[in-house]
């Protein structure tokens, strides 16, 4: 913490190497203990960052997307295997139509680029869209198929992009799938348990998140992974997502490792 307090009084050409040394120390400490297997991130603050700098809103979204690529590298460096990014909620469709249209086109471009994206290939990250895909434009649906197909054999990491996603909706859809699987014959209420519900969520087959991080200064989950995050460790950062630094991320991981997780016991 001391390095943060004194950094504003020291020239950046001195502070940058100091941060590099500190980052290296944190990475060594993190790797010496159990690394979280799944991290969920609510990427909040893109629009507010752009506004604070007098920039168009779309630039905030573009910078947030670039930061997400950096984050993938940070996770790979310490050995995180699953990253779930909250990119666009079902409620976000209520925003200005021009902004929504820009975001949809940006996602379309990024999913198509997943087949050749350097970061995706280097990290061998399997890309998957999670959410009510039926709500999305046809061109984006096609792009998602391209991105998922191109990365389906990658086995080092899984990158979930929550788009047109809502935690409540996900649970409702899971219940519908359970009822549909009974083929109209009904299902004994005693058969419905947490395991069955989990197997019908969008995150089927993946571990629940060990950590949920929210940037942007807000302290709430905003309908993100409501079922899966029952015992996740929560971290709320005041930093807008485009401004999150590697050292901020590493500090969260180190703090997580120092917590005593009891899972209700």
CB count within 10 Å of CB 1 equals: 5
Please give the order of strands across the beta sheet that includes 82-89: 125-130, 157-165, 82-89, 38-42, 211-214, 233-236
Report the C-alpha gap between 207 and 225 in whole angstroms: 12
Render the burial of 160-172: b for 16+ CB within 10 Å, e for the rest: bbbbbbbbebbee
Tell me the sheet residues that pair with 88: 163
Whole-number Cα distances in Å, 262 to 34, 104, 226 = 15, 40, 19
Residues with a catalytic annotation lie at: 44, 92
Furthest CA-CA distance within the chain: 71
CA proximity to 43, closest of 237, 202, 209: 237
The vertex-226 CA angle with 133 and 134, nearest 5°, equals 10
Report the C-alpha gap between 162 and 72 in whole angstroms: 15
């Amino acid at each position: 913490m001391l390095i943060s307090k004194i950094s504003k009084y020291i020239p950046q050409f001195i502070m940058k190497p100091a941060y590099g040394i500190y980052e290296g120390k944190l990475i060594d400490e993190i790797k010496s203990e159990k690394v979280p297997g799944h991290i969920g991130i609510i990427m909040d603050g893109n629009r507010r960052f752009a506004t604070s700098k007098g920039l168009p809103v779309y630039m905030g979204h573009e910078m947030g997307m670039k930061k997400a690529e950096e984050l993938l590298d940070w996770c790979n460096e310490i050995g995180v295997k699953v990253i779930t990014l909250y990119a666009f909620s079902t409620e976000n469709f209520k925003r200005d139509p021009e902004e929504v249209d820009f975001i949809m086109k940006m996602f379309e471009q990024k999913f198509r680029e997943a087949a050749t994206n350097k970061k995706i290939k280097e990290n061998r990250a399997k890309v998957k869209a999670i959410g009510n895909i039926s709500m999305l434009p046809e061109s984006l649906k096609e792009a998602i198929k391209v991105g998922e197909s191109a990365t389906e054999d990658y086995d080092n990491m899984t990158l979930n992009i929550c788009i047109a996603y809502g935690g409540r909706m996900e649970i409702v859809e899971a219940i519908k799938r359970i009822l549909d699987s009974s083929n109209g014959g009904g299902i004994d209420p005693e058969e419905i348990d947490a395991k069955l519900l989990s197997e019908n969520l969008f995150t089927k087959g993946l571990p629940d998140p060990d950590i949920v991080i929210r940037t942007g200064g807000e302290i709430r989950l905003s309908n993100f992974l409501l079922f899966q995050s029952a015992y996740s460790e929560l971290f709320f950062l005041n930093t807008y997502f485009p401004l999150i630094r590697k050292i901020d991320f590493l500090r969260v991981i180190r703090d997580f490792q120092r917590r005593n997780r009891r899972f209700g016991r």
